[in-house]
Structure 1
Amino acid sequence: MHEEIKIKTDYITLGQFIKLLNILESGGMVKSYIQEQGVIVNGEVDHRRGRKLYQNDVVEIEDIGSYIVKKED
């Protein structure tokens, strides 16, 4: 089951999304984590922190969790 993460805008970048989750301490850590480890977005590994995430995109972070993007009403 994916944890729902609500956003107020039409999209959010992958880097901003991970910062929003508050699982890493700084933006620099987010940047290096994405570049080195990668994150699974909709079943594909992605290393771009500028990747745009839209409603219903699924983000999986190894050993941390699985999240789905939802837009606030």
Structure 2
Amino acid sequence: MSIRDVPIRDESIRLGQFLKLAGLAEDGGHAKELIETEDVTVNDQVEVRRGRQLRHGDVVAVDGRSARLVAGS
């Protein structure tokens, strides 16, 4: 499975925001639904906290699609 790198400007981002930014969720409501139904993993662990702070290098996966946070400019 390929992992797409998604740059962020800050040191961290909330999981719900990152799902939208990475295109893994259509909008905030979709992100909330994915998290509540335990369809989201962070570093291969199911994550149910929408406000979870993600940092550079974390890998988020949904339905076989993965995105990794990287430092942006």
Structure 1 length-normalised TM: 0.85
Structure 2 segments unaligned to the other structure (5+ residues): none
Q: Following superposition, which runs of at least 4 residues in structure 1 exceed 6 angstroms of deviation?
A: none
1:18-53 residue CA offsets vs partner (Å, 9 max, x unmatched):
111234332112112211133111111101111111
2:42 aligned with 1:33: no
What secondary structure does 2:68 align onto? Answer: strand
Partner of 1:18: 19
Residue correspondences, number? 72
State TM-score, norm by structure 2: 0.85
- Tell me, which stretches of 5 or more residues in structure 1 are unaligned? none
Q: Percent identity?
A: 36
